């Protein structure tokens, strides 16, 4: 807490509190005002209200507001007495998505830290960590959290310098321990004559007659992953049926000539969750965007949205995310990506995530693509008894709902 100087007429207090529905508009305005860095500088805006993102994911969440409140001291001592004038300013926000997942055939509870936005004001930067760790400790106790996890863009130098660079051990600063690395792949088109699909693999949207076979196929694939959502593992059919985002009829299914399912995915429109507004591209991304403009003129690619800085008008970055991306061999991946791309709108590209050691998930040759490296980290307290206990996984991580 900061105290007023002898000559100040205002009392300034800093706090980190849990948000309420009444904070939605102020949170959305603050959240969308701060851009994330990396290959593409982005601003994100929530639709309807700030909390609609979590509600559409159908996940329990905790959102916190880091704010500064000021009270006019002159008014307090003015007669006749009147209600004190209190003003507040949001300095930061952070959210935790609470998820039950399976690890080594046991149920664990994780909290995915996301939506971290901190003002560049000095009092925000200096005080954030001091409030953040006690909130993690309290959340761990109240919600019985086993692990705190976050995904970090490894091209974002500001985040790397703030959270991951080696430094002196400080009890006020959390420790970020790498669990594994994954890549975010975007597919923007296909080079002519160099992208060939197996003609004996057909890809179509699922029908009611495919439902049981699809459930069995995905259930068998999930056995090969760690950190699968418990509800998904226990009853896949109910999980999809109760979801706002997913529908059996929107699954793309790949079949062999015998009609056997050999792959599937579920494309999700980015605008169903939130809107992304590019502010700037780094030099490498700018060169790629310029090449896509040329390729789109020749009709074998789609352009990337112009940055706000060059148009003075914000335009959304449009893409479809591939969830539940499973396949029996890389030739099936080729067909799924091709079908997902051509079933999307002409202004949308395809986005999917894969762990770096999943070699069969590498983007197929002949695709016009880009990759951004990410790290999945566990957040730990330096004085926690579990500090030296590494979160070990023997299988690939099920990344859906750990990236967006």
Mean pLDDT of the chain: 88
Q: What percent of the chain has pLDDT over 70?
A: 89
Which CATH number goes with the domain that contains 86? Answer: 3.40.630.30
In whole angstroms, give the CA distance from residue 84 to residue 74: 9
High-pLDDT (> 90) share of the chain, %: 71
Query: Torsion over CA of 134, 135, 138 and 141, rounded to 10 degrees?
Result: -110
Is residue 279 domain-shared with residue 323, that is, in the same domain? yes
Which of these three, 150, 179, 208, is where a domain ends?
Answer: 179
Mean pLDDT of 56-79: 78
Is the pLDDT score of 291 beyond 80? yes
| pLDDT recorded at residue 3 | 46
The DSSP element (H or E) to which 239 belongs, if any, is: helix 236-241
The token duo for 377 is 């980290």
Q: Which structural domain, as residue segments, surrounds residue 159?
A: 10-179
Q: What are phi and psi of 378, to 5 degrees?
A: -100, 135
Give the model's pLDDT for residue 174: 81
Mean pLDDT calculated for residue range 220-243: 95
The pLDDT value recorded for residue 77 is 52
What pLDDT score was predicted for residue 391? Answer: 79
Q: What is the pLDDT of residues 241-266, one digit of tens each?
A: 999 999 999 999 999 999 999 999 99
Torsion sign (Cα): 200, 205, 208, 214? positive
Give CA separation, 329 vs 26, 263, 337, 353, in Å: 48, 8, 13, 17
Q: Mark whether 81 and 192 lie in a shared domain.
A: no
Domain match, 118 and 240 both = no
Q: Which residue has the tokens 């919600």?
A: 143
Among 132-141, 331-340, 362-371, where is mean pLDDT lowest? Answer: 132-141
Please check whether residue 397 lies inside any domain of the structure: no
Q: Does residue 96 lie in a domain region?
A: yes
Residue 1's pLDDT band (cuts 50, 70, 90)? very low
Domain match, 174 and 207 both: no
Task: Write the CB contacts of 104 (distance below 8 Å, at least 6 apart in sequence).
Answer: 226, 394
Task: Say if 404 falls within a structural domain.
Answer: no
Q: Report whether 370 contacts 145 (CB < 8 A).
A: no
Structural domain contains residue 286: yes
Question: Is 162 in the same domain as 198?
Answer: no
Residue 261 token pair = 């399912």
Q: Looking at 141, 163, 179, which one is the last position of a domain?
A: 179
The answer to whether residue 394 is domain-embedded is no
Residue 179: count of CB within 10 angstroms of its CB: 21
Whether 31 and 117 have beta carbons less than 8 Å apart is answered as yes
Q: What is the pLDDT of residue 7?
A: 47
Is the pLDDT at 27 greater than 50? The verdict is: yes
Do residues 233 and 306 both lie within one domain?
yes
Query: Which pLDDT tens digit goes with each residue over 377-403?
Result: 999 876 665 545 667 888 999 999 998
> How many Cβ atoms are within 10 Å of 378's Cβ, its own excluded?
19
Per-residue model confidence (pLDDT) at position 75: 55
Is the same domain home to 254 and 135? Answer: no
pLDDT(78) > 90: no
| Dihedral sign computed on CA atoms, order 391, 395, 400, 404 | positive
Task: Please give the Cα distance from 147 to 191 (Å, whole number).
Answer: 43
Residues 148, 131, single domain; the answer is: yes
Q: Is 318 helix (H, G, I), strand (E, B) or coil?
A: coil
Residues 100/145, Cβ–Cβ less than 8 Å: no
Is there a domain that residue 390 lies in? no
Phi, psi of 216 (to 5 degrees): -65, -40
Are residues 273 and 356 located together in one domain of the fold? yes
- Residue 124 and residue 213 in one domain: no
First to last CA, the chain: 35
In a domain, 328, yes or no: yes
- Average pLDDT on 173-181 reads 87
The DSSP output letter for 262 is E
Domain count, the chain: 2
Q: Which residues pair with 71 in a beta bridge?
A: 11, 86
φ, ψ dihedrals at 99, nearest 5°:
-135, 140
Euclidean distance between CA atoms 237 and 219, whole angstroms: 10
Give the count of beta carbons closer than 10 Å to the beta carbon of residue 228. Answer: 20
Q: How far apart are CA 161 and CA 127, in angstroms?
A: 17
- Residue 300 near residue 190 (C-beta atoms within 8 A): yes
Is the dihedral angle over the CA atoms 120, 123, 125, 128 positive or is it negative? negative
Domain end, chosen from 179, 203, 220, is at 179
Supply the pLDDT for residue 45.
94
Residue 387 lies in a domain: no
Mean pLDDT within 337-356? 96
Quick one: 202 and 343 in the same domain?
Answer: yes
Res 245: pLDDT: 93
Task: For residue 169, name the pLDDT band (cuts at 50, 70, 90).
Answer: low
Pair (199, 159) in one structural domain: no
């Amino acid at each position: 807490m900061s105290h007023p100087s002898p000559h100040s007429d205002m009392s300034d207090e800093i706090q980190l509190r849990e948000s309420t529905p009444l904070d939605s508009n102020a949170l959305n305005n603050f959240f969308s005002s701060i851009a994330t860095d990396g290959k593409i500088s982005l601003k994100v805006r929530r639709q309807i209200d700030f909390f609609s993102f979590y509600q559409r994911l159908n996940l329990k969440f905790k959102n916190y507001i880091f704010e500064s409140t000021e009270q006019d001291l002159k008014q307090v001592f003015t007669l006749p007495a009147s209600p004190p004038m209190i003003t507040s300013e949001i300095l930061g926000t952070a959210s935790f998505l609470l998820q039950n997942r399976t690890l080594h055939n046991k149920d664990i509870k994780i909290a995915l830290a996301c939506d971290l936005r901190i003002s560049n004001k000095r009092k925000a930067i200096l005080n954030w960590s001091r409030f953040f760790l006690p909130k993690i400790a309290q959340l761990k106790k109240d919600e019985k959290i086993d692990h705190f996890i976050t995904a970090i863009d490894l091209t974002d130098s500001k985040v790397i310098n703030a959270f991951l660079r080696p430094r002196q051990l400080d009890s006020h600063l959390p420790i970020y321990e790498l669990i594994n690395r994954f890549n975010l792949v975007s597919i923007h088109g296909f080079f002519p004559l160099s992208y060939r699909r197996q003609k004996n693999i057909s890809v179509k949207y699922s029908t009611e007659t495919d439902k049981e076979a699809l459930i069995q196929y995905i259930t068998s694939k999930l056995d090969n992953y760690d950190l699968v959502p418990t509800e998904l593992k226990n009853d896949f059919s109910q999980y999809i049926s109760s979801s706002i985002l997913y529908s059996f009829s929107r699954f793309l299914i790949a079949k062999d000539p015998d009609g056997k399912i050999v792959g599937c995915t579920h494309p999700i429109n980015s605008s169903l969750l939130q809107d992304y507004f590019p502010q700037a591209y780094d030099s490498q991304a700018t060169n790629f965007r310029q090449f896509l403009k040329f390729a789109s003129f020749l009709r074998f690619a789609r352009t990337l949205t112009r940055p706000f800085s060059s148009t003075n008008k914000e335009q959304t970055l449009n893409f479809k995310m591939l969830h539940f991306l499973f396949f029996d061999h890389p030739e099936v991946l080729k067909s799924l990506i091709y079908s997902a791309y051509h079933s999307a709108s002409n202004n949308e590209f395809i986005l999917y995530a894969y762990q770096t050691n999943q070699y069969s998930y590498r983007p197929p040759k002949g695709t016009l693509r880009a990759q951004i490296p990410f790290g999945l980290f566990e957040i730990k307290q330096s004085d926690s008894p579990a500090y030296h206990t590494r979160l070990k996984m023997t299988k690939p991580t099920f990344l859906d709902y750990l990236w967006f």
